[in-house]
Structure 1
Amino acid sequence: MAGFEDFEGIEAASDFSPGAQVPLSGSGGQTAATQALASAAYRDGGFEKFLKANEGASLKPPRLSLFEPNLGEAFSRAVQVRLLGGARGALIQSFGIEPQTVVEHCLAATRIRKDRDTKLTVIMVIFGLLFLPGTLLWLLAFQLRRMIAGAQDKRMGAFGMAAMVALGGLAVLFMLKLPFDGVLAYYLRGMLIAPVIGWLWAKQVCERTAKMLRGQWEQLLGGGGLGAKIPEAVPQDPGDAGAERIRLGLAKLRAEQASNLVYYAGPKGILGMGTRWGSWQLAEELVPKDPESEINPFRSWDVVRAIYDQLRMLERSPLHTGGFPKPSVRHWIVSPIAEGASSVSRPEGQEVEGYRIKDFEIQRICNEQQFGSGNRHYLGVQFVLWDGQLVITLMITVTVLHHTLRIEVTGHALGPVHGLFFDKPKAKTKTVSKGVKFWETKTVNQPLVETQEVVRLAARAPLTWFPPVLDFLGGKMTLPEPFGLRHAWADKPWRHRFMADDALRAATPVLRVVHAAALRVLEENGCNTDQFGARSNALSGSIPAVEPKKADVYDA
């Protein structure tokens, strides 16, 4: 991949694979959300609606609109550079999807377009470079048309149409009334005709590729789950540096996805998990059961460990019903960042191994960093539902300040991928009036690749081997920061009734399991649990009627 640099600092901790392998995307990560995001790499057309789906995404304006990328080209390029680039910043975990699968499909779509651009480059050399003056005249005409009508508009208006007709008339007059004879006259005539012949050939190449890309697009959204074919990611020899960089980039992506460090950005919630919609707190004084004795010394980690053991059995039920699927129960370290932060950084040091905070450091944070600055420990139970469309995370933290034990449970919900990603390819048709029965209409098929699109692809083809130059001339997509594939395009879950119900229903049993485990630890260590039990019963009675709130937006 052009523009990728060697990765530094990726040792055995992040290179989990035994050697050069073909990355397989047909694994368990093929969910609806993953496939919807991956389908963007194969799409065509403009991306105005796509940019509206996320206010943080933008497009750098092109210097020449003839080189402007379409949606699939811009998305594939942006994702590859952001997730595999040698100088890329830290990523936010994508819960509910496999980001590696999305990147692999971006690589596969780029390879398909690269094969097309190779053929178009040959056509440009034969029919364009050898007849360069005529090619430049044709490109100038199409550039003028795009300037008059806009990159996406098909109609130029009366002035634009008159200008194009005038230019065409001058070209025909020039061919008929040449002031030269001999070989030069034939060449001058040929320089206007040869690009047209090349365009016809290029049109066939573009249509075949467009059908292939649209086929992948439709199969992904149809649940086909086809794996991405990226043979360029397999080193062919020990000196194949490009394939090795891709392989290491994918290994780094997998390691960062498995990190247990997340970031809390104020009203934005925990990045990757969604905003905090509910909070329940159990806080009472630690009093010995026997007034003549003292409480057995215990630490916050002892309570957290007991809660962890009980949460792992959430899928068990006394009744033979559907119930909970097996949840993911993990220890998390939450690091605070500013709401408008443009980047995050991964910690380094002896407490970190392969982007993960080590166990001894997790215990230390849990027991010691409960007040003031610094990272905080949370125990999280996460449900990935609706084929990755809904991610429910309940975070538990235990703190002890003076004689007060506080157990707080907060609910986070990450909604479905924006509906724009689920639009399937549509046949290009047009409704027109019939010639004789003009009061009736008929639907006619339009070309899959239009004339101006063929010219755009042919003009871009020779520059695809120089991506920075193409980005400079045609512009590029800028992704929102801090970037994570899943949360960047997530919608609100509360607009979907069943998803909202699932998020609300998960809170009650989790809260009761947490309280039961904590009360057992308190009793084992000689604490009076009467106040804790009364408070727990009050919370259990009120939580079934809970409604989603903006818990991180304080009215103060």
Structure 2
Amino acid sequence: MAGFEDFEGIEAASDFSPGAQVPLSGSGGQTAATQALASAAYRDTPITTLIEANDSASVKAPRLSLFEPNLGEAFSRAVQVRLLGGARKALIQSFGIEPQTVVEHCLAASRIRKDRDTRLTVIMVIFGVLFLPGTLLWLLAFQLRRAIAGAQDKRMGAFGMAAMVALGGLAVVFMLKLPFTGVLGIYLRAMLVLPIVGWLWAKQVCERSAKLLRAQWEQLLGGGGVGAKIPEAVPQDPGDAGAERIRLGLAKLSAEQASNLVYYAGPKGILGMGTRWGSWQLAEELVPKDPEGDINPFRSWDVVRAIYDQLRMLERGPLHTGGFPKPSIRHWIVSPIGEGAKEVSRPEGQEVEGYRIKDFEIQRICNEQQFGSGNRHYLGVQFVLWDGQLVITLLITVTVLHHTLRIEVTGHALGPVHPLFTTKPSAKTKTVSKSVKFWETKDIKLPLVETKEVVRLAARAPLTWFPPVLDFLGGKLNLPEPFGLRHAWADKPWRHRFMADDALRAATPVLRVVHSAAMRVLDENGCDTKQFGARSLVLSGQVQGAEPTKADSYNA
């Protein structure tokens, strides 16, 4: 299931790691959001539930529903190809989670399924290939049942039941009234019976792997911090190309995650940071303090640097009340793309190192690219709260046009992952009436793997060694583009009262720190700050009544 056979090789030039390293399972990123997303790799629920979480994702319809993957199989396969494939497109950063940990769990889940499929393949060879005519008849019956009743329907219709009974009756008549004797007669009878024996053996194999997968799923959501076991990522010898390919893919993923370039997609907001819910602007004329003198020349970068220095003290306060956790303060370059863009491109050139824009280019963009086309500079203050479930980002930009200095603070919020990813596995039970006290009920524990699921897994097992063939027959998951693990499955934070409060509360102190630092720079350079001070007081009043709005949607 790992599917690395069809990955294109990653060039050595893409190795951004400091040297030969072995990926450590479960290293870092043990947060609620990370573990919730990683748990999707172990799930055995229908794949349609994942589409409900984000309708931008889609599933390629299976040509034979018998080979259709479930959620965990499709998610693991799609994430591995998308994030580790040699020919993959650029990714959107996943703030608040460790995408490498999610990928490692996808690899670990694929390893569990691959071990199961190895055993199932042996069973299929012994009881399937050697008695192929009978196996095909049974598979035809199950495929007919799924086609009539629907691949995801737990109860087949009356016509499907009648067809199954008819086929079973024909099999019994065939065995009792068989006109052949000797070796041929024994073989013809065995080809109908032994596939059932193989099914019983396969059921035990499937039950064991299902229990293991569900245990991993439950431990992740229970906060156990279980690590991913991926022995195929550990090089066994210097020529182990598969492990080296995985190592380079994980190193490339980590380097792209550390990029300081983000993308603004219109009403979708900044990809990875969420939509813009609030905007506050301080814009006044630059007037010298001395009417007969002039102001000292300064640039936007001077104001940004002063704001940066003062924001670093943001977690400190006069009272011992806990207050802010230490935020991440970084310089960001924001590149505009179309709202319906299906991919993004990472820049190349001497201004870029790895996936990061160099400092001198950041400073140039801050000072010069303030009007017209091109990338823009923003200073970002980012808080990762609620164990990674809430990401609050406040972006500050400084522009100087003619005699007007404008300082703008915008708020962005990325909410918790979709509730689908936080649901724990539940035991499969059935409520029935008691035999004697029929007016009372009792719960009967059902097996984790149903009959039709054993048949599906056994039929898929030999084809898991050829992932493209399995994708062709059973369909596959198409992830939403431009893809990022975090923002693709994020919910709105405003449905959670405390999360909404945290986002609204963060704006006021940040705005005041920004204004205080800007006033100091203006005063040091001989500017009259009376108008700026008055405007700052007005904004202080406005921000106290901050309410989330759709700031990226304009009423035209």
Q: 1:201 maps to what in 2?
A: 201
CA distance in 2, matches of 1:113, 1:407: 54
CA distance in 1, matches of 2:338, 2:154: 44
Query: Which residues in structure 2 correspond to 1:190-229 (within 5 Å)?
Result: 190-229=190-229
Q: CA deviation at 1:11?
A: 4.1
Q: 1:152 maps to what in 2?
A: 152
Contact 2:394–2:409 (Cα < 8 Å) also in 1: yes
* TM-score, scaled relative to structure 2: 0.98
Q: 2:466 maps to what in 1?
A: 466
CA distance in 2, matches of 1:546, 1:177: 83
Q: 1:502 maps to what in 2?
A: 502
CA distance in 1, matches of 2:14, 2:313: 36
Q: In the alignment, is residue 10 of structure 1 matched against residue 19 of structure 2?
A: no
Q: 1:126 maps to what in 2?
A: 126
| Paired letter, 2:318 | P
Contact 1:393–1:412 (Cα < 8 Å) also in 2: yes
Q: CA deviation at 1:24?
A: 3.0
Query: Which residues in structure 2 correspond to 1:75-86 (within 5 Å)?
Result: 75-86=75-86
CA distance in 1, matches of 2:375, 2:381: 19
Q: Report the 3-state secondary structure (helix = DSSP H, G, I; strand = E; otherwise coil) of the residue aligned with 2:444.
A: strand
Q: 1:35 maps to what in 2?
A: 35
Offset from partner CA, 1:502-543 (integer Å, 9 cap, x none):
000000000000000001001111111110011111111221
Query: Which residues in structure 2 correspond to 1:180-329 (within 5 Å)?
Result: 180-329=180-329
Q: 1:490 maps to what in 2?
A: 490
Q: Report the 3-state secondary structure (helix = DSSP H, G, I; strand = E; otherwise coil) of the residue aligned with 1:114.
A: helix
CA distance in 2, matches of 1:20, 1:141: 50
Name the Cα RMSD after superposition. Answer: 0.9
Give the stretch that moved more between structures: 433-442 or 209-218.
Answer: 433-442
* TM-score, scaled relative to structure 1: 0.98
Q: CA deviation at 1:9?
A: 6.5
Offset from partner CA, 1:463-518 (integer Å, 9 cap, x none):
11100000000000010000000000000000000000000000000000000000
**Identical amino acids, percent of aligned pairs:** 84
Q: Report the 3-state secondary structure (helix = DSSP H, G, I; strand = E; otherwise coil) of the residue aligned with 1:225.
A: coil
Q: 1:95 maps to what in 2?
A: 95
Q: 1:21 maps to what in 2?
A: 22
Q: 1:402 maps to what in 2?
A: 402
Offset from partner CA, 1:337-377 (integer Å, 9 cap, x none):
00010110000000000100000000000000000000000
Q: Report the 3-state secondary structure (helix = DSSP H, G, I; strand = E; otherwise coil) of the residue aligned with 2:499.
A: helix
CA distance in 2, matches of 1:93, 1:514: 26
Contact 2:384–2:391 (Cα < 8 Å) also in 1: yes
Q: Report the 3-state secondary structure (helix = DSSP H, G, I; strand = E; otherwise coil) of the residue aligned with 2:531.
A: helix
Query: Which residues in structure 2 correspond to 1:371-390 (within 5 Å)?
Result: 371-390=371-390
Q: 1:478 maps to what in 2?
A: 478
Q: CA deviation at 1:46?
A: 0.5
Offset from partner CA, 1:304-359 (integer Å, 9 cap, x none):
00000011110001101110000000000000000010110000000000100000
Q: Report the 3-state secondary structure (helix = DSSP H, G, I; strand = E; otherwise coil) of the residue aligned with 2:452.
A: helix
Contact 2:25–2:230 (Cα < 8 Å) also in 1: no
| Paired letter, 1:555 | N
> Following superposition, which runs of at least 4 residues in structure 1 exceed 6 angstroms of deviation?
none
CA distance in 1, matches of 2:194, 2:13: 52
Q: 1:46 maps to what in 2?
A: 46
Query: Which residues in structure 2 correspond to 1:426-465 (within 5 Å)?
Result: 426-465=426-465
| Paired letter, 1:374 | G
Contact 1:284–1:532 (Cα < 8 Å) also in 2: yes
CA distance in 1, matches of 2:57, 2:195: 37
Offset from partner CA, 1:209-252 (integer Å, 9 cap, x none):
00000000000000001110111111111221111110000000
Q: CA deviation at 1:439?
A: 2.1
Q: CA deviation at 1:288?
A: 0.6
